[in-house]
A and B are shown apart, each in its own frame.
Chain A
């Protein structure tokens, strides 16, 4: 039937056509013009980005040549409750008391009665077994949150070397800070379409799966047995001396590897917040320069021999004092006056002998610029005093060695430096340089980074750092080596195991207060080596305390002797016959 013009059917057709046109325009707007926006909205609802957390790398030490863990990770659980959802608070308290009493927060009944709160922590650091046992009870309104924490199987061992990880997951102090990036690894990413429960589904072509890269597992050069014995020997020695602070570093003079680094007081890295002062986190061996005292005389003697101005049996006239410009420098030990050898000067730690050596570096009677330049060239440029050693630990301090061109770098300063005053050095600097004196004149950069432990258990050792040869000649080293041995043997031979090559030098240094040396507070130091056919270890000990007069021979030397005699057995050194 044909429609008449103006009929309702025609109007309807026009209306429908118009609506369709309207829909088409709207669809064009939604699907073409606003396509990207709606795709984004859709993705936001359907695709959920999930972070795959990387595991923080572990830290190992050595036991002989076998890596053993010092810092590992453990998953622990925080138990929480929603007081609104809790139906049987008595049962909850009863269960947690039975299963994890030590982890319980104080007064859990009160926590569960806070009905205007939806989250109350009932217990912390529960083990997986404890959490599973509690879960079996099907307690209404109780949940668990997994948390990874650092665990220290060896307790406080090498705490300042290790550092700790703070609540934000950042390494603080020690190796944790130095290698934070390597230990942290890199989180992975999973972007996936999920179902209503949040379970990732493989459907969709916009899924992204980037696996996490776990942090590196670092192996230190520290030997846990040497570290443990050193820490105990230090505590024993300090207690006997009545000292409150002390440090010991043990280095392999043939490689620069740090075998132990002990400090007292120390702290427990698992409870790093429970300390009286944050100063205990520091590692004085690398970050607390001090005037090391008379042990530096071994270096002055080495410079004199290397420059050809003295030999061990060279003599000088000792009057127990020597004048430098307007200052009079006196010996601490008196009575060995007259013509005496440099060996005697070293044995009795005579300041006059050392000042004489520096004078001979110049014109023979004055500590002139040439003498000061020579001494600075050895102390600073060759031995590395006043410079960062580059050991792989944070916050290392360079110390201070005043150059001769400085107005402060005058003759008096350099005369003081010859016997270990007037310059601030770290123990790691001194011990590393001392290795050079006894190992033939080779400087090894001190290192504490031993390498990486791969997931398959293989230990990849770090490449050896290029040593610096010719710091002093091998001939000089041989002579100084013997002088240091004789200096110890003169007084303390009976304390050492027979048949071994042990040597060392005491140091007792005044301390500065308000820019002036005080007499009622001294720091005791002992610097020595031990070995069989060659030096196998260098040990530097320091003991101090507020208002304490500590002597190198009385308070630091016994700690050296204790560690040295034990090391001989531990390293299985054979006596010379």
Chain B
């Protein structure tokens, strides 16, 4: 990398303008009359390296995002597996519930065995 230091740190535009035009031109309020010039100047190699670094950074950003998307896939997969597991458990419980409430099971239950047929029935009309 090469650079050079300039002797003049800034130059007044007002003065140069006045000297250049010689017409006594006026300056508007708030108008910059001083242009700062960087003391550093980048050469072609520095530019190339900077561009390369920017490409690398952008590439890394892209890779990070792509990897993150993939990691979401794995998370989603885990959640799917969990849902499938819970669905299976729910299904098992439904089967168990159906077996426990089946007529055969109900009729064999202690409650059913303790029941007796009514001796007489009357009807409210």
Q: Quick check: B92 and A203 within 8 Å, CB to CB? A: no
Task: Determine if A73 is an interface residue (Cβ-Cβ < 8 Å).
Answer: yes
Given the complex of chains A and B, what is the CA–CA distance between A225 and B72 in angstroms? 52
Contact call A153/B70, Cβ cutoff below 8 A: no
Over the window 70-81 of chain A, the binary record of Cβ atoms lying under 8 Å from chain B Cβ atoms (1 yes, 0 no) is 001111000000
- Contact segment of B6-14, B49-57, B100-108: B100-108
Q: Which of A99-107, A194-202, A468-476 contacts B (4 or more CB under 8 A)?
A: A194-202
The answer on a CB contact under 8 Å between A202 and B69 is yes
The reply on A128 being an interface residue by CB < 8 A is: yes
Instruction: Say yes or no for A410: interface residue by CB 8 A criterion.
Output: no
Is A127 part of the binding interface, using a Cβ–Cβ cutoff of 8 Å?
A: yes
Given A74-B92, A75-B91, decide whether A199 and B123 contact each other with a Cβ distance below 8 A: no
Name the distance in Å between A107's Cβ and chain B's nearest Cβ. 30
B92 touches A154 (CB 8 A): no
A69 contacts chain B at the CB level, 8 A cutoff: yes
Is B18 an interface residue, CB under 8 A from the partner?
Answer: no
Which residues does chain A contribute within 8 Å of B82, judged by CB atoms? none
Which residue of chain B has its CB nearest to the CB of A73?
B91
Contact status A153-B102, CB under 8 Å: yes
CB distance from B33 to the nearest CB of A (A): 55
- Please give the distance in Å from A112's CB to the nearest CB on chain B: 28
CA distance A289 to B72 in the complex (A): 64
Q: Which residue of A lies closest to B73 (CB)?
A: A201
Interchain nearest-CB distance for B122 vs A (Å): 10
Q: Are B103 and A154 interface neighbours, CB within 8 A?
A: yes
B76 neighbours in A (Cβ, 8 Å): 202
Closest to A225 in B: B103
Contact of A154 among B70, B88, B91, B104 (CB under 8 A): B104
Inter-chain contact A199/B104, CB cutoff 8 Å: no
**How close is A156's CB to chain B, nearest CB, in angstroms?**
10
Q: Are B92 and A127 in contact (CB under 8 A)?
A: yes
Closest beta carbon of chain B to A343's beta carbon, Å: 31
Query: Among the listed B72, B95, B104, B121, which residue makes an inter-chain contact with A74, where contact means beta carbons less than 8 Å apart?
Result: B95
A128 and B103 contact, Cβ closer than 8 Å, known pairs A72-B98, A575-B123: no
Is B47 interfacial (CB-CB < 8 Å)? Answer: no
Determine which of B73, B98, B99, B102 lies in contact with A199 in the assembled complex, contact meaning CB atoms within 8 Å.
B73
Is B88 a contact partner of A155 (Cβ separation < 8 A)? no
Q: How far is the CA of A63 from the CA of B68 in the complex (A)?
A: 53
Using A574-B123, A575-B123 as known contacts, say yes or no to A153 and B73 having CB atoms under 8 A apart. no
Question: Bound complex: CA of A575 vs CA of B69, how far in Å?
Answer: 73
> B89 contacts the other chain (Cβ, under 8 Å)?
yes
Chain A contacts for B123, CB-based, 8 A:
574-575
Checking B72, B92, B98, B104 against A128 with a beta-carbon cut-off of 8 angstroms, the contacting residue is B92
Proximity string of chain A (229-257) to chain B, C-beta cutoff 8 Å, 1 when within and 0 when not: 00000000000000000000000000000
Given contacts A74-B91, A128-B89, A201-B73, contact A69 B66 (CB under 8 A): no
In the bound complex, residues from chain B placing their C-beta under 8 Å from that of A74 are 91-92, 95
A177 to B84: give the CA distance in the assembly, Å: 29
A572's closest neighbor in chain B, by CB? B123
A151 to B100, CA, bound (A): 13
Least CB distance, B82 to chain A, in whole angstroms: 14
CB pair A72–B94 under 8 Å, yes or no, is yes
| Chain B interface extent, by class | 20 to 34
Residues of B within 8 A of A127 (CB): 92
- Any chain A CB within 8 A of the CB of B125? yes
One digit per residue, 1 when the CB lies within 8 angstroms of any chain B CB and 0 when it does not, for chain A 190-225 equals: 000001000111110000000000000000000011
Q: Which chain B residue shows the least CB distance to A157?
A: B103
Residues of A within 8 A of B73 (CB): 199-203
The 0/1 profile, CB within 8 Å of A marked 1, for residues 55-96 of chain B is 000000000001001101110110000000000110110110
Instruction: Determine the distance from Cα of A75 to Cα of B86 in the docked complex, in whole angstroms.
Output: 12
Which of B94, B101, B104, B125 sits near A574, CB closer than 8 Å? B125
Instruction: Mark each residue of chain B from 25 to 40: 1 if its CB lies under 8 Å from any CB of chain A, else 0.
Output: 0000000000000000
Instruction: Name the B residues within 8 Å of A391 (CB-CB).
Output: none
With a cutoff of 8 Å between Cβ atoms, the chain A residues found around residue B89 in the complex are: 128
CA A330 to CA B98, docked complex, whole Å: 56
Say whether A68 contacts B95, CB under 8 Å.
no
Chain A residues within 8 Å of B92, by CB: 74-75, 127-129
Q: A200-B77, A201-B70, A203-B66 are in contact. Are A128 and B102 (CB under 8 A)?
A: no
Contact code string A423-451 (vs B, CB < 8 Å = 1, else 0): 00000000000000000000000000000
B72 is contacted by which of A157, A202, A228, A575 (Cβ under 8 Å)? A202
Given the complex, which residues of B lie within 8 Å of A574, measured CB to CB?
123, 125
**CA distance in complex: A151, B101 (Å):** 14
Determine the distance from Cα of A203 to Cα of B123 in the docked complex, in whole angstroms: 72
What are the residues of chain B within 8 A of A68 when measuring CB–CB?
98, 101
A153 & B72 in contact (Cβ 8 Å cutoff):
no
Is the pair A72, B77 in contact by a Cβ cutoff of 8 Å? no
Q: How far is the CA of A200 from the CA of B89 in the complex (A)?
A: 24
Scoring B70, B98, B123 by chain A CB atoms within 10 A of each residue's CB, the highest score goes to B98
**Given A151-B98, A203-B66, A203-B69, 20 new contacts (CB under 8 A):** A68-B101, A69-B98, A72-B98, A74-B92, A75-B88, A128-B88, A128-B89, A129-B92, A151-B95, A154-B103, A154-B104, A155-B102, A157-B103, A195-B70, A199-B73, A200-B73, A200-B77, A202-B73, A228-B103, A574-B123
B interface residue numbers (CB < 8 A to A)? 66, 69-70, 72-74, 76-77, 88-89, 91-92, 94-95, 98-99, 101-104, 121, 123, 125
A residues near B (Cβ < 8 Å) are 68-69, 72-75, 127-129, 151, 153-155, 157, 195, 199-203, 224-225, 228, 569, 574-575
Q: Please name 12 pairs of A and B residues whose Cβ atoms are closer than 8 Å in the assembled complex, sorted by A.
A: A69-B94, A72-B94, A72-B95, A75-B88, A151-B95, A153-B99, A154-B104, A199-B73, A203-B66, A203-B70, A228-B103, A575-B123
